[in-house]
Copies of this chain bind each other. A is one copy, B any other.
Amino acid sequence: MVRPTMEDVALRAGVSRALVSLVMRGSPKVSELRRSAVLKAAEELGYSPHAMARSLASRTSTVLGVMVSDLHNAFFAEVVDGIDEVAREQGFDIIINTGGRSPARERRALESLLSFRPAGLVLLSPVVPATAIGKAAEQLPVVLVARSSRVSTVDTVNDDGEVGARLAVDHLVSLGHKRIAHLDGGEGTQAGPRRRGYVAAMEAHGLAPQVVSSEYTDAAGARAIRSLIADDALPTAILSCNDFNAVGAISALEDAGLCVPQDVSVVGYDNTSLAALRHVSLTTIDQPRAEFGRLAADALLQRVREERTEPVRHLLNPSLVVRTTTAPPGGPR
């Protein structure tokens, strides 16, 4: 249970501790003879460098901290993939922590991450107050994903929800729909831009917006549909605030004896793995998630290397994924 140290390797290889350090860092100024002796000794002892001692001594770190607000959401997993890819390319490791969507837990996760003195921090859709983010940003470079900020030391990567909503509306309009309702995400992240994009797109087409208050869950989507039916206000097409909501909406429509897409078309948002299931096959708006991660890592590493001090604000374009829940109104031709 006790790991060998550099000293042990040096002793075994018959060289100094400093020489072992050079070999471990791949320095070119070591003779081939010593290098192989050191590597052999390290191998035999099962030695690997102590990252903490290293970063303590060098006052640098090759670790990026990633705070995932919700591990349950596969959205973040793909962003992490993107971060990981870029980080690894550039010789950095990542450590992840999660806040479980609770500000208190998230704050603690942040503290924990900071206590490792990583080179930088990526916060995925954090729910902590902006002041906490600002404080962290005083200590190290910080990038926010799926959350905006006006702090000049913080970079951000977001999708353009207005564009996404417009894509969906344009698609439905091109199919011939005129009555298109939006099941709104309420207080949820990014619900605002999506709603604004929907309203703007409707008005641009000369159509009357119909915003129905809802939430990011399948139960809420179903509830919204039931209330629309009860009010006799069901449109020919629905733009849900996200995929879960859309699936709930579809099931409520089917419960009411309506067919999707023949009677009502439904569009989701996020293109989660759920949407791709053949059983669901949801037309939806895709966000370039891995790209989010890559851009976030790139931005962070630029700051880490002090190549840039001006903030960047990435706003990525989502895209439309047409599956089988949308069709022209009035049944199949």
Contacts and interface: CB of A to CB of B under 8 A. Distances in A.
A50 interface: yes
A250 to B, nearest CB: 6
Contacts of A250: 279
Classify the secondary structure of A's interface with B.
helix
A140 interface: yes
A278 B72 contact: no
Interface size class of A (residues with CB under 8 A): 35 or more
A31 B244 CA distance: 56
Interface stretch (A6-14, A74-82, A188-196, A208-216): A74-82
Given A52-B55, A72-B74, A279-B251, A98 B98 contact: no
Nearest to A139: B3
B49 A115 contact: yes
Contacts of A98: 80, 84, 96
Nearest to A61: B52
B116 A52 contact: yes
A222 interface: yes
Given A94-B97, A115-B48, A117-B50, A80 B71 contact: yes
Q: Output the residue of A48, A55, A116, A278 with the most chain B CB within 10 A.
A: A278
Q: Output the residue of A3, A56, A115 with the most chain B CB within 10 A.
A: A115
A48 B80 contact: no
Given A95-B96, A116-B116, A248-B277, 5 more contacts: A1-B138, A48-B111, A80-B98, A94-B97, A247-B279
15 contacts: A1-B138, A1-B139, A48-B114, A49-B115, A50-B117, A72-B74, A74-B74, A88-B108, A93-B97, A93-B112, A95-B112, A95-B116, A96-B96, A219-B278, A279-B280
